[in-house]
Structure 1
Amino acid sequence: MKLQDSVIAITGGGQGLGRAMAEYFAAKGASLALIDLMPEKLDEAVTACKVAGGDARSYVCNVAREPDVEETFTAIQRDFGKINGLINNAGILRDGMLVKVKEGEIVKRMSLSEWQSVIDVNLTGVFLCGREAATHMIQNGDHGAIINIASISRAGNMGQSNYSSAKAGVATLVPVWAKELARHGIRVMGIAPGFIETEMTQSMKPEALERMTASIPLKRMGKPDEIAFTAAFIFENDYLSGRIIEVDGALRL
């Protein structure tokens, strides 16, 4: 699959990794359907994609709501006439211990809302968007690819019961969908990033960032363009399907 003239939908496309991937693909001549909840961020990302050389349109959508997702992908199909690729990138964090104890006393427990909100966006959102993208691809006869953005946290990370569980589910959907959709000419892959330089990590305290970086064998965090390059490699290699590529500087060996 060539990125030139392809239509790629990206959830969480208004900022962070989503925007970085969008700009990278735009520079290669792709058209982008950017999906996010924040209109102002979407507007900035659309402008950046057009400056980079590709067409782009924005879609305000809550990926955890089925009607929103159905309407959004119908609109993408109407606007572009096809869908060649999807990157399931949207995600949120609500970190916390399952049960936090201080001086022998339980001071906090992860709430059901903290659990459910992460599952809704990070896992259910992937299911809904993947289903809608695959539906339109099959109906159109558009061969293409779906990329699920997982995380090395899928192996289990302290303080992330909700996030680790969701990302484990996201990763598991990769081989399931790859087997189910191969007959329709649709490939499915996953990317599991480690620590990447984004707005979220830049807001961390310097000492926390220093400790984090020291734990990475390559002694640096990844750059958003390195995730974008990996996604482009997946899209352009038509024999890749059903696997997760970890981009983590050898953090998880």
Structure 2
Amino acid sequence: MSGLLEGRRAIVTGAAQGIGLAIGAALADHGARVVLADLDGNRAEASAEAIGRGAIGVGCDVTDESEVNRLVDRAVDELGGLDLFVNNAGITRDASLKKMSVADFDAVITVHLRGTWLGLRAASAVMREAKSGSIVNLSSMSGKVGNPGQTNYSAAKAGVVGMTKAAAKELAHHGVRVNAVQPGLIRTPMTAAMTPEAFATTEATIPMRRAGEPGEVAGAVVFLASHLSSYMTGAVLEVAGGRGM
């Protein structure tokens, strides 16, 4: 791989598996030093060991202000700074409006919106001082087109887009860029929970007629992390095979 991100210091949340792990591996492949954060600290450490190249695994609940602050402090202490923060951690609690509990609504909103906001705030505090940095937030095509059974998730992911644009406007003059990626149907442990029928039905709506792979989302994040996107902020990149366009 190229040294596109040589010397960059990065944190990825929700990085023990799926898209987050693929992002962490891709950043490391391109030369970045990476901290993989996940609610499951043991899995984060195992994933970091699998990636190698100095990757560090850390346990972190992204909804907890003190834990997110400690995560950023540790990365700065161990890596010497912070150039990239990827807000990827997420959960689903799918149900129809009729059946969804308030607890399941609140859980999804809290992880995606409070979690992303806490990461944004902590990372940007460091980056503002350095007058440089890139923050990438993971939204979803669910936040653009809406998915039945996902009123909580669709609302949260739409909120991530609004948060991205607001933060991009606040931070641009400090040299900090904030962009978002909206994956479509991607083969991950999360989508593996779908029934084969539901997966096939969704896949049939995609112009490219296939689901995406985690590495294809990671490629967009690498681009947004690098100098190749130096004049981009507040942008939302769809990685969805043409779905929802």
Q: Would the TM-score normalized by the shorter structure come out above 0.5?
A: yes
Structure 2 counterpart of 1:75, one-letter code: R
Structure 2 counterpart of 1:124, one-letter code: R
Distance 1:200 1:154 in 2: 16
Deviation at 1:207, TM superposition (A): 2.6
Q: Is there any run of 5+ residues in structure 2 with no aligned partner, and where? A: none
Matched, 1:27 2:16: no
Deviates more, 1:153-162 or 1:13-22: 153-162
Please state whether the residue corresponding to 1:188 is helix, strand or coil: strand
Structure 2 counterpart of 1:151, one-letter code: S
The corresponding residue for 2:71 is 72
Distance 1:242 1:87 in 2: 14
TM-score by length of 1: 0.91
Deviates more, 1:203-212 or 1:57-66: 203-212
Over 3 Å counting, the alpha-carbon distance change for 1:181 and 1:2 in structure 2 is farther
The answer on whether the counterparts of 1:2 and 1:235 sit within 8 Å (CA) in structure 2 is no
Which of 156, 165, 185 pairs up with 1:195? 185
Matched, 1:143 2:132: yes
Deviations 1:63-105 (A, max 9, x none): 0011111122111111111000011000000011111xxxxxx
The answer on whether the counterparts of 1:8 and 1:30 sit within 8 Å (CA) in structure 2 is yes
Over 3 Å counting, the alpha-carbon distance change for 1:70 and 1:115 in structure 2 is same
Which of 176, 194, 202 pairs up with 2:166? 176
Distance 1:201 1:12 in 2: 15
Which of 186, 197, 205 pairs up with 1:207? 197
Which residues in structure 2 correspond to 1:238-249 (within 5 Å)?
238-249=230-241
Structure 1 counterpart of 2:230, one-letter code: D
Distance 1:250 1:214 in 2: 12
Distance 2:199 2:140 in 1: 18
Which of 32, 43, 47 pairs up with 1:41? 43
Which of 216, 222, 231 pairs up with 1:232? 222
TM-score by length of 2: 0.94
Over 3 Å counting, the alpha-carbon distance change for 1:117 and 1:203 in structure 2 is closer
The answer on whether the counterparts of 1:86 and 1:145 sit within 8 Å (CA) in structure 2 is yes
Please state whether the residue corresponding to 1:199 is helix, strand or coil: coil
Deviation at 1:2, TM superposition (A): 4.4
Which of 243, 247, 250 pairs up with 2:242? 250
Deviations 1:10-68 (A, max 9, x none): 01011110000111111111100111011232122101221xxx321122111001111
Distance 2:92 2:192 in 1: 15
Distance 1:75 1:30 in 2: 16
Percentage of pairs with the same residue: 37
The answer on whether the counterparts of 1:23 and 1:48 sit within 8 Å (CA) in structure 2 is no
Larger radius of gyration: 1
Which of 186, 211, 218 pairs up with 2:176? 186
